[in-house]
Structure 1
């Protein structure tokens, strides 16, 4: 295992030295780290048992922290007042994606119950900003469009998680009624998680502002406190049978809207250490999950994945933006650039143990195959399509969309830090 870790360290160093050059091409970080993990799996340098155990640890830590920090950067008041596109994609588009995805998956998954198809659709609904990084950082794309994609991907994983847990509980109740009352368990997870998270986030934000006003803390220590708050919300929710991931997301939402951008760490961590966590998780997915998932990829599973990417999300987003000022090309652009990433794989890992073994393994393989296929397809199209779209919108009806919106929440100044 030591040799494998050394190889990973050297690979990461090489990537960081070439990151800016690679960002202008088709080889994105998720593609490279998933691919490197898959190659390492074939060499045997990483024992499979160690890789799978490490994946669960890294995946949980990454999900807790990234859910908290993504939510903490969302200004709910601004989202309601000035960001019609992402709001409609979240409130209308996300449920539509689950409904349409269920209708598509149900006949393909027969004779499995329709609830399994609903769970599969919910797992494939969240999108990942990490896989769409080449789009949301590309200046050729209008700022309003980039911001809408960033907002949507930052919020939709937290909004999809309760739906996934609900369907998982219903499937567990249906398949194993004599073992555990999964429906009651799911209800407690969905109720107590947000309550605990909201309380910790709101109280933590008030205490944070009080300490900052009295100059009792510093920028470095503030960051440690934010991470501890995310962990605390997760652990506290677990103690009362709530869902820790939902708690971390809601805690970040309340914390961020109380402090209103007065924590530079939230932005800096997301852009630095948060990237490292995501890369590590992608590597471990490629190492521990992709080989088995690829071995079980069949025509039925591939059809569900490609339909989700090419039909389900584009149709859901198009319908959700009907009646807005979004141009037809913009709707198509939003519909395509909804890559499946960490949330899809990690949520599948989260619920697999609650399900019948055969169903759980199938859904996990479905989710993992969706992630690497999405990483490849969206990765190779991100730069060329972004440039083409930006050029078309600047020439045609996109003049109104090219305008720069005031930031949702300005990054802290040096004095605030």
Structure 2
């Protein structure tokens, strides 16, 4: 079965590579293909590896991928153009995100009235962070206005870290309701949250600034090769994350702001980052969704119910879209732009990571159902956001063509 599983992975990988140009222009996405492949692998080899090892492997691979994707995505966000439309992602983060947690908590409690309020808030907080990597066709599409693309990128880069204090607080309250002490719990939750939200950004900006200056100096002196520019980029991403976590800051916020600072302050070309993400970055994404499909999806199916499916669909639609619509009111965005920003809040790596952390560290009643709800939400998101990305992005191009003077009929 080892050989059969490896053969399947390699055959899918070769086929995907040969058809990659056509696939990228279709309704099929990379996460969809390799999540499905992983599901087939899970059925072929259900007992190949112990469950706890499978979950640890999923957590490690997802964390590595998220760190690299956050740093790389942030490095291509241009602050000069973002500054004009900064109010869009700020409103989505400061108004839309709290409203999403609130509405999600109410909906979770409504669907499962027997669940504690802390558990309902925990599910909402885990499923609030978004993952722009699942809508890569949107984030990288020239058809989508730059302010929309960058807003999606900034929101998904920062909401992971902002959700951590809420997730931890609700997990501790849910565990406390069972009378169980949690190891490694912070002594003061407010202090923990303040450190997370201050030291994380500080480490990110300092490291982004410092290493951008060092790399510029090395390029000027001709002491670094193009290959090692990519390796330095990789090392800086992990160094930023680990340093922030070591001093009590939030690693994900640090990585995103570090990448943002690094990409905007570096005077030389950053093509090495794009080249890295098109090769090694893609392989990491492939590995993540293979393991997700093989390990997490079968676990979710075994604990799925009408409640978990209902919540998954609600978190991807009304619970996400209504708060974002409200937060963007008064900014002069069109109805389609607000709908687009509300819909493209795919759930991915961050939600998987947070759910696995809670599952393994906190003795909470119904943890299997929580994990199932999160995995089902991500699985449905992979399909729905993957299929809708290209058509919805192209609608922007059609709208511009219809409104341009050359498209008007002569009188």
Shorter-chain TM band: 0.7 to 0.9
Q: 1:64 to 1:146 in 2, by over 3 A?
A: closer
- Is 1:303 matched with 2:310? yes
Q: 1:151 to 1:231 in 2, by over 3 A?
A: closer
Q: 1:25 to 1:252 in 2, by over 3 A?
A: closer
8 Å Cα contact 1:140-1:390 kept in structure 2: yes
**Which of 352, 355, 370 is the equivalent residue of 2:362?**
355
Structure 1 distance, partners of 2:87, 2:366, is 38
Structure 2 distance, partners of 1:86, 1:271, is 26
| Greater displacement, 213-222 / 304-313 | 213-222
Deviation digits for residues 289-332 of structure 1, max 9, x if unmatched?
Answer: 00110222211111211111121111112111111121112211
**Which of 91, 98, 101 is the equivalent residue of 2:101?**
98
Q: 1:282 to 1:190 in 2, by over 3 A?
A: farther
Q: 1:78 to 1:95 in 2, by over 3 A?
A: farther
TM value normalised by structure 1: 0.83
Deviation digits for residues 24-66 of structure 1, max 9, x if unmatched?
Answer: 3322211111111001111118824364443233222212222
State the shift of 1:155 in Å. 3.9
- Is 1:335 matched with 2:342? yes
TM value normalised by structure 2: 0.84
Which residue in the other structure is 1:411 paired with? none
Structure 2 matches for 1:263-278, cutoff 5 A? 263-278=270-285
8 Å Cα contact 2:216-2:268 kept in structure 1: no
Structure 2 matches for 1:35-54, cutoff 5 A? 35-44=36-45, 47-49=48-50, 51-54=54-57
Structure 1 distance, partners of 2:140, 2:78, is 20
Q: 1:299 to 1:63 in 2, by over 3 A?
A: same
Structure 2 distance, partners of 1:292, 1:55, is 13
- Is 1:178 matched with 2:185? no
Structure 2 matches for 1:185-196, cutoff 5 A? 187-188=191-192, 191=195, 194=200, 195-196=202-203
Which residue in the other structure is 2:409 paired with? none
Instruction: Give the CA RMSD over aligned residues.
Output: 3.0
Q: Which runs of 5+ in 1 are unaligned?
A: 401-417
Structure 2 distance, partners of 1:335, 1:79, is 19
Structure 2 distance, partners of 1:172, 1:258, is 44
| Greater displacement, 341-350 / 72-81 | 72-81
State the shift of 1:158 in Å. 4.1
Q: Which runs of 5+ in 2 are unaligned?
A: 406-411
- Is 1:22 matched with 2:34? no
Which residue in the other structure is 2:11 paired with? 10
